[in-house]
Amino acid sequence: MKILFDLFPVILFFAVFKLAGSNPDTAQALATYINYPADPAHLPVLFATATAIIATLAQIIWVKWRHDKVDTMLWVSFAIILVFGGATLLLHDEAFIKVKPTALYWLFALALLFSKILFRKNLIRSLMEEKMSLPDRIWGQLNLAWSGFFILLGVLNLYVAWNFATDVWVNFKLFGATGIMFVFIIVQAAMVSKYIETEKKDNV
């Protein structure tokens, strides 16, 4: 359920992009109705971007209402999509929203790296140590692995964005990046599982 919640803006972005792309007359009529002059060819990504911004804001409102405290990562995600998505909507330039995932991934990578270098704090450990106990060396490796992963995923997003059509990038944004993330998580889980099992045996 948490995964679906996190993917909510991405799923809606994908759905609105496909819907507007397959119904260009309706998209143009809506743009005319709300007095939003734009190239009809750009309307799918523009409407999808607006939807993603609204969806992320809705997430914040929902979390605030249900749990009172909004996670920092959600605030960061909202700030980034507001900046890059807002630029896309104002300038009618899809390049900004295409760069947005890379900006988010690289920000995560920098946070992981600089928290460790400047403050001697392992963010991956802070997030996960209540769920599992690992040797310090493994926590360090996980922190570096996630940093490198986010850097590479950001590069891959740019490669797809600049070398393929927008509809291909939209498909990659939902299925490609998400699929790669799941595979990476599974690989990481497999790598640390032996240390968890070893600790359980030591505690018996």
**In the chain, how many domains are there?**
1
Alpha-carbon distance of 92 to 39, in angstroms, equals 8
Alpha-carbon distance of 101 to 204, in angstroms, equals 45
Say which amino acid occupies 194: K
Q: How many CB atoms lie within 10 A of CB 129?
A: 12
Alpha-carbon distance of 9 to 101, in angstroms, equals 12
pLDDT at 120: 86
Matching residue, tokens 């939902």: 174
SS3 77: helix
Q: Are 68 and 86 in contact (CB under 8 A)?
A: no
Could you state, in chain order, the average pLDDT of each consecutive group of 10 residues for the chain (204 residues)?
A: 86 97 96 94 97 97 90 93 97 96 96 89 86 84 94 98 97 96 92 68 50
pLDDT at 198: 53
CA dist list (Å): 102 to 88, 169, 179: 15, 13, 16
Domain that holds residue 126: 2-203
SS3 4: helix
Q: Rounded to two decimals, what is the model's pTM? A: 0.89
Alpha-carbon distance of 162 to 59, in angstroms, equals 30
Alpha-carbon distance of 201 to 50, in angstroms, equals 52
